[in-house]
Structure 1
Amino acid sequence: MHFLNYSGPYHGYDGFAIFARDMDLALNSPTWGLINTPWKKAEVTAKAA
């Protein structure tokens, strides 16, 4: 993660919970829906042809 977004520390038992929370927030962010992926674009083009 970028150092400006650092919410650690990620060491020890408590650190794992912080890391898991940060990963959950990053992976389940609604902003991922705003990105067009190349493989989905290829499927749409192939279906149209």
Structure 2
Amino acid sequence: MKFQKRFGNRRRTKPQKGLFLVILLAIALFLFFNAERLLSRIL
């Protein structure tokens, strides 16, 4: 079957890279929603 051949032997991605991206996304969302408060503290 072509489907099995195409999707059966996918290479495993590194879980650390995915975890790094999730943490980066969480930091970006945190900064996005708290930017106003952080800027008011700095200025």
Higher relative contact order (CA 8 A, sep 6+): 1
What TM-score do the two structures reach when normalised by structure 1?
0.41
* Greater share of helix: 2
What TM-score do the two structures reach when normalised by structure 2?
0.46
Structure with higher Rg: it is 2
